[in-house]
């Protein structure tokens, strides 16, 4: 394989191995951002491959003085450790109320949308997070410099692994039942409900509930509001 500025040709995102979750994320381990020319020079493998201050720095895990496919490691778990839900319903006189919370904990997601939008050399609109990109020594140790050239962001790496744990209000409903038997019906229930009204998560992709291993911008769960009338004859 050939490596130019730490570019790896084999861009496999996952690997399955005995003793690990199926399709675990597999790639280079992020080690910060090169801040100065001296720091680049102290990593000879990076200097030889054309890295510049502001580029992503990866860990040389096997210690051979190169950043290549042999430095890839397991960088994330796509299978939730805990999946949970909480349902509640209650009524008081003619009012009724219910809701459903659902979530997962201990799961990672590869946010490929971030890689495509923020690190691709094609002229896409970027996320607002690029406003905090490296633009001089000490300005950032998490976001590389802005460039049309490769800054290390083209590699499959832990840069794009994010905690996709979330808590979501899947459904909430409130209703009121009217007794109006004098018009030939038992009762009429008026209700209002909403789906996916809020989500608590640190995931920066469109939807932490996405089931895609490699999230390229899966369309998110939509919010919905319903006003209904139920007639019992």
Instruction: Let me know whether 73 and 86 are in one domain.
Output: no
Residue 38 has pLDDT above 50, yes or no: yes
Query: Within a domain: residue 8?
Result: no
This prediction's pTM: 0.84
What is the pLDDT averaged over residues 177-191?
Answer: 86
- How confident is the model over 27-56, as a mean pLDDT? 82
Can you give the residue range of the structural domain that contains 206?
Answer: 82-108+164-232
Q: What is the mean pLDDT of residues 180-193?
A: 87
- Whether 1 maps to a domain, the answer reads no
Number of structural domains (the chain) is 2
Whether pLDDT at 165 is above 50: yes
Q: Give one DSSP letter per residue of the chain, joined into a string.
A: ---STT--S----EE--TTS-TTEEEEBPEEEE--SHHHHHHSHHHHHTT--TTSEEE--TT-SS--SGGG-EEEE--S-SEEEEEEEEEEETTEEEEEEEEEEES-EEEEHHHIIIII-SS-PPPPGGGGG---STTS-SSSPPP-SS--STTS-BGGGEEE--EEEEEEEEEEEEE--GGGT-SEEEEEEEEES--EEE---SS-TT---SEES-PPPPPPEEEEEEEEE-
pLDDT digits (tens, 9 = 90+) for 85-128: 999 999 999 999 999 999 999 999 999 998 888 877 667 788 88
**Mean pLDDT, to the nearest integer, of 35-52?**
76
65 and 179 inside one domain:
no
Confidence of residue 47 (pLDDT cuts 50, 70, 90): low
Same domain, 58 and 88: no
Same domain, residue pair 60 and 172: no
Asked if 43 and 155 sit in the same domain, the reply is yes
Residues 127 and 228 in one domain: no
């Amino acid at each position: 394989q050939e490596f130019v500025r730490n570019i790896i040709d084999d861009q496999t995102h996952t690997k399955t191995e005995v003793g690990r979750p199926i399709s675990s994320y597999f790639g280079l381990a992020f080690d910060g951002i090169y801040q100065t020319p001296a720091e680049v020079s102290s990593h000879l493998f990076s200097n030889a491959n054309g890295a510049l201050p502001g580029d992503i720095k990866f860990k040389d895990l096997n210690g051979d003085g190169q950043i290549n496919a042999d430095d890839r490691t397991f960088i994330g778990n796509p299978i939730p450790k805990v999946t949970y839900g909480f349902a509640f319903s209650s009524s008081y006189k003619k009012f009724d109320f219910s809701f459903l919370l659902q979530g997962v904990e201990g799961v990672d997601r590869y946010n490929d949308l971030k890689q495509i939008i923020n690190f691709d050399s094609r002229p896409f609109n970027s996320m607002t997070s690029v406003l905090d990109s490296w633009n001089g020594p000490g300005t950032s140790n998490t976001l590389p410099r802005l460039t049309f050239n490769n800054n290390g962001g083209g590699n499959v790496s832990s840069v794009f692994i994010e905690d996709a744990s979330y808590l979501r209000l899947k459904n909430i409903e409130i209703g009121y039942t009217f007794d109006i038997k004098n018009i030939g019906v038992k009762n009429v229930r008026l209700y209002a409900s909403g789906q996916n009204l809020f989500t608590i998560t640190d995931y920066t992709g469109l939807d932490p509930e996405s089931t895609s291993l490699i999230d390229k911008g899966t369309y998110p769960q939509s919010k919905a509001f319903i006003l209904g009338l139920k007639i019992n004859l």
